Amino acid sequence: MIKNIFASIRSYFEAVKLIKKLKLTKFFLIPALIGLILGILFISTAIGLSDNLGNFITTYWTFDFGKSFISGLSTWISGFIILLIGIMLYKHLLMALASPFMTPLSEKVEAHLTKQEKVHSKLSGTAQLMRSLKLNLSNLIKEMLITLPLMLLSLIPVIGLFFTVLVFYYQSYYAGIGNMDYTVERHLNFKESKSFYKKNKGIAVGNGFVFTMMLFIPFVGIMLTLPIATVAATKNVLEKLDT
């Protein structure tokens, strides 16, 4: 698994080279616009909610001493939790809405890597969108059920670091699945896809880890990350399907 994680991470460097070689920058525009709009919406909402939730928590501190400290701490904790939840919602919504544009990108890369003239999905644009919505909604629910308790445990001093690592592990895993599915949907049905993802967790984690980390880069991350992650995932998926 560790080997697959690092192989998946290395694929990002190869993805950038492929994008330049095949002149695929035109596939960045629509996902960038979707990412920018969603990013502004989620960031502005997170800022407002963190203050409101922090103030709500502070009302339960009935003592005068330390009230300002509790207010600041509760606002910070609220902001941290809302940020992580926002990232989960953001990335799955982005991957689902951008699927009609990321699938053609994956097709171009697959045609080049497999030396075929053209590669086409059997699903229509609407069917691709519905499959992606179904997959990402399912992943979002699973991810939230697993990571929300881990987020609370991560606030425990010292041992909280272990739970923080687990939070990013599961966030990376489910994000990687979303990026891989733009390619997998042409080769496997929905049930077969789930089995494929379980057998290739390392690829999903490595891809999703870089994808999630890049989202923290202001503006550039939310506008450019998805197409690069898609190209990287396409290469990894094709290699695994061949074996």
- Give pLDDT tens digits for 112-171: 998 887 777 776 767 778 888 889 889 999 999 998 898 888 878 888 889 889 988 999
Q: Does 185 have pLDDT greater than 80?
A: yes
Span 42-53, mean pLDDT? 71
Q: Show me where the domains of the chain are located.
A: 2-28+87-242
Spell out the alpha helix ranges (H) of 114-199.
125-153, 160-184, 190-199
Q: Do 228 and 28 meet the contact criterion of CB atoms below 8 Å apart?
A: no
Q: Give the pLDDT score at 81.
A: 74
Q: Do 176 and 208 meet the contact criterion of CB atoms below 8 Å apart?
A: yes
Residue 149 identity: P
- Report the distance separating Cα 8 and Cα 210, nearest Å: 9
Q: Compute the Cα dihedral for 229, 235, 239, 241 and give only its sign.
A: positive
- Give pLDDT tens digits for 62-91: 666 666 766 666 767 777 777 778 888 888
Between CA 171 and CA 178, with CA 174 as vertex, the angle to 5 degrees is 130
pLDDT more than 70, % of the chain:
88
Q: How confident is the model at residue 110 (pLDDT cuts 50, 70, 90)?
A: very high
Please provide the distance, in angstroms rounded to a whole number, between the alpha carbons at the two ends of the chain.
Answer: 15
Span 91-116, mean pLDDT? 91
Phi-psi region of 227 (alpha: psi -120 to 50; beta: other; left: phi over 0): alpha
